[in-house]
Structure formats: structure tokens, C-alpha cells
Structure 1
């Protein structure tokens, strides 16, 4: 009895179904192809098209790529062979009167099942890997999109108040000068309307600071920290 791998090598894909050819089955059942087909014809009602069908010329030519040896690709001298589905193979055991019919049927069905299980498992694993890859890529794209959208938002969000580092001094009758090296402070001061000046003179020294009008000091007070260096 041929092992499963040998049987699987004789299973082909035709019309979206896995099938075996009459001549291969005849060899396994120990009968001639003609005898096998005669038994099928005598029991035609047991073999609907879902169980058995004759291969067309186009299908035969397309099958050439599935054959292992080139000798088997030769066109039949008479008509094209019959193809039996898994159900058709099972039905053959009930019409062929050979000592090994049942055992052959069991082996062939096992080969069909093994191939179907392998293809299902392989397809599932491949599909799962592809889905995981797609999910990962979509997540990366979504993260990139969100980062792009939040970038300007982050820049536009201002701190709630100035830091404790700010130092405010009375500069003139109309303005105060605010000193800070804090980046967030500078953003908030700019939003409040303070004007940066890198050429201020304070106590005889050249300094840089933010000039802010005293007329708007009430607005500035709302953003001052609870504790800050004394003026």
C-alpha cells in the first residue's frame, strides 16, 4: 500500500477542488482504468458531478504544471481522464469488488484529510502572520499620524503659569523687565505680549530681557507663580 506522501503527490487541484485521476486510482485499486470506469458507469447514479467529472482539454493542459514527470503530461490517446473528488473516492470502494478496496479507500481519504489539514494550518499561520504584519504597520501609521497632529497642538499648548525662575524688575515708569532662561516662560511671555530685547541697559550693564508694559501688569499677575523672587 502506498504511503500518504505518494498518494498526496497524485492529488491535483481542478475547478477549485482536490481530485485524483481515474488511472491513478485504478493502479491503487489493482484494476485497469477501463474496469474502474465501467464500474462507475454501471453505478452512474452514485457518482454525481460533485463526486466525479471528466477533465476538459484546457484543464488537462493546465494540469501539466502539477505533474511530477513529463511523461504523464502526454495527451491521452482516446478521451481525457475522469477526476474523482474525495467523496467520489469514498464511493468507489462500494462499487469496486477488490480485496483491497476498503483499505485503499481509507488510505486515500487519509491523504485528502492530511493535505486539507496541512493547507488549512499553513493558510491560517500565513494569514495570522500577514494580519499581524498589517496590524503592526497600521499601528505605526496611526502613531505617525497622531504624532503629526499632536505636534502643532503641543506647540500651541501654553503652560498654566510662569516658573519660579522668573525675575521681574522695575525698568521704567511704563515698563518692567522680566528675566528668565526657561523656554516655557519665554513662550508664555511672548503670548502675553512681552517684547524680547537683547540690548537692554540695567545697572550700567548690557542685559537681555522681556519688556512688559505696566498698563497690562494685571494680566501678567494671573500667570505669576505663587512664589517668585522678589522684585
Structure 2
């Protein structure tokens, strides 16, 4: 049985990784009704952390995620959701060779999903830590720059302000000179020497 196909049938509901009764019935080659009957006959084997029934609201949210939501149509009974432990318990309730083989594949799929989530969260934590270090370095750099500016004496600040003022005045004069040079003479045709006219 293909692992990816099983992984695609694992959903997160109420913060738990679960599989739904109709998906499990299809994997076991059984009817959903028969699977539910077997569970109800052995309900003591399925505490709430092994299996729970979806609410209508949960089912509606989940139905929007199904690619074939029309196929499921309206249902009178809400699906059962089985955690990894609940799926393991199903093999003892169903007690067939097919159920045992399917359960082995399902357990591998749960382990694979758990490993993926663990690795993803580990990478996310590392990236967040890297970002924190970069922010800290930027903050320290900004604090050092501000401290250096604050350490300047009043005379040094005055001299820097004078230099900035002189530079801006020179820039303004240069702009005026450039504008005058670009004016065209009045009263006769001006020939452009670069074009050789």
C-alpha cells in the first residue's frame, strides 16, 4: 500500500492527527457502516483519546477540504475520527489479515507524518533563532552608532553642522551656474557645436 496515499488521509482535528472512518473502511475494503458497528460493539477499547465523533461544524470545515466533497453528500451520522492508537486498536477489533497488513502501513504513515512535523518545527525554531540573532546585532549596531553620536562634543557637532551647511550652499550655487550655462542665447540661432552644424 502506498505510504503517500495514506498520509493524504491523515487530518489534524482538535490538535490531533487522525484518520476518518470512511477512509479507513475504504483501506480495509469494508463498508463504513460495518466498521462503525465493530467499533460500537467494542466501544470500551476506544476511549476519547483513541476515537471521537466529529461535530457537525468540524465535519463541515473538513468537507471543504475534500476534493470530492460532492461524493460524500449529506450524512446522517458524523464520522468517527481515529488517532494513531485508535487505528492500532482497530486491527484487534476487525481481526483479519487485511486489517493487520493495512494497519502496518497506516502506522508507518503516522510515524512519517510525525517525523515530518518534527523536522519542520525544528527548522522553524532554527530560523526564528537566526532572525533573533540578526535583530539583536542590528539593535546593538544602532545603539553603538547612537552612543558615538551622543559622545561628540558640542564643538564637534557645531563644526559638522557648519560643514553640512557649507556643502548644501555650494550645491545650490553649482545648480544655479549649471542652469545659466544651459540657457540659450536670445535673438540669434544657436548652433550645436557637437553636431557639427
Same fold (TM over 0.5): yes
- 1:104 corresponds in structure 2 to 102
Structure with more strand by fraction: 1
- Aligned CA RMSD, in angstroms, stands at 1.8
Structure with more helix by fraction: 2
Query: Pairwise mapping of residues 162-201 of structure 1 onto structure 2 (< 5 A)?
Result: none
Query: Pairwise mapping of residues 65-214 of structure 1 onto structure 2 (< 5 A)?
Result: 65-72=64-71, 74-76=73-75, 78-153=76-151, 155-156=152-153
Q: Which has the higher relative contact order, 1 or 2, with Cα contacts under 8 A spaced 6 or more apart?
A: 2
Give the aligned length.
Answer: 155
Dislocated runs of 4+, deviation >3 Å: none
Shift of 1:72: 4.7
State yes or no: 1:10 paired with 2:40: no
**What is the CA–CA distance in structure 2 between the aligned matches of 1:87 and 1:7, rounded to whole Å?**
16
**What is the CA–CA distance in structure 2 between the aligned matches of 1:84 and 1:24, rounded to whole Å?**
11
| Unmatched 5+ stretches in structure 1 | 157-185, 188-231
- 1:35 corresponds in structure 2 to 34
**What is the CA–CA distance in structure 1 between the aligned matches of 2:117 and 2:67, rounded to whole Å?**
19
Q: Is the 8 A contact 1:67 1:73 kept in 2?
A: no
The TM-score with structure 2 as length reference comes to 0.73
| Unmatched 5+ stretches in structure 2 | 157-197
Aligned residue for 2:97, secondary structure, equals coil
- 1:53 corresponds in structure 2 to 52
**What is the CA–CA distance in structure 1 between the aligned matches of 2:131 and 2:149, rounded to whole Å?**
27
Shift of 1:56: 0.5
**What is the CA–CA distance in structure 2 between the aligned matches of 1:11 and 1:64, rounded to whole Å?**
14
- 2:186 corresponds in structure 1 to none
- 1:165 corresponds in structure 2 to none
